[in-house]
């Protein structure tokens, strides 16, 4: 694996780990309360962990590792099309019955978009 592809993979994983938190919270919520998975303590905690993660990554991580900041990456046209399709599908799926598979599908779409992104000139 080339150095740039490994950087793309790390960038995609770091910037999309929030979906993993939400998937875990939704999955636990569906197991404990199948009728209302978004009203469980597990989902509330996963949202709280997601918010804390986003704050820490913005204030701490990106300052020490600017090459992983999404401002320094340019999505390709195919990445933008995939992201648009993913957002459209996510809106369609989230308006129906909630499921952990929707978060998984949205996570995969965002991973593909970020993996196909290219770094801007400063980090090539």
For residue 72, the model assigns a pLDDT of 76
Where are the domains positioned within the chain?
Answer: 3-119
CB environment 37-56: b (16+ within 10 A), e (fewer) = beebebbeebeeebeeeeee
**Dihedral of the CA atoms 51, 54, 55, 56 (nearest 10)?**
120
In this predicted structure, the answer to whether residue 124 has a pLDDT above a threshold of 50 is no
Q: Residue 71 has what DSSP assignment? A: G
Write the pLDDT tens digit of every residue in 43-74.
788 888 888 988 888 888 888 888 777 777 77
Write the pLDDT tens digit of every residue in 70-89.
777 777 777 777 777 777 77
pTM of the model: 0.64
Q: Which residue has the higher pLDDT, 121 or 113?
A: 113
């Amino acid at each position: 694996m080339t150095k740039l592809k490994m950087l793309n993979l790390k960038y995609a994983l770091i910037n999309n780990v929030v979906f993993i938190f939400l998937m875990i919270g939704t999955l636990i919520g569906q197991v404990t309360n199948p009728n209302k998975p978004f009203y469980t303590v597990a989902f509330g905690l996963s949202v709280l962990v997601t918010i804390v993660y986003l704050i820490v990554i913005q204030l701490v991580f990106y300052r020490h590792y600017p090459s992983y900041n999404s401002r320094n990456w340019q999505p390709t046209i195919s990445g933008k099309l995939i992201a648009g399709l993913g957002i459209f599908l996510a809106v369609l799926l989230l308006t129906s019955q909630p499921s952990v598979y929707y978060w998984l599908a949205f996570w995969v779409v965002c991973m593909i978009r970020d993996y196909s992104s290219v770094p801007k000139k400063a980090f090539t």
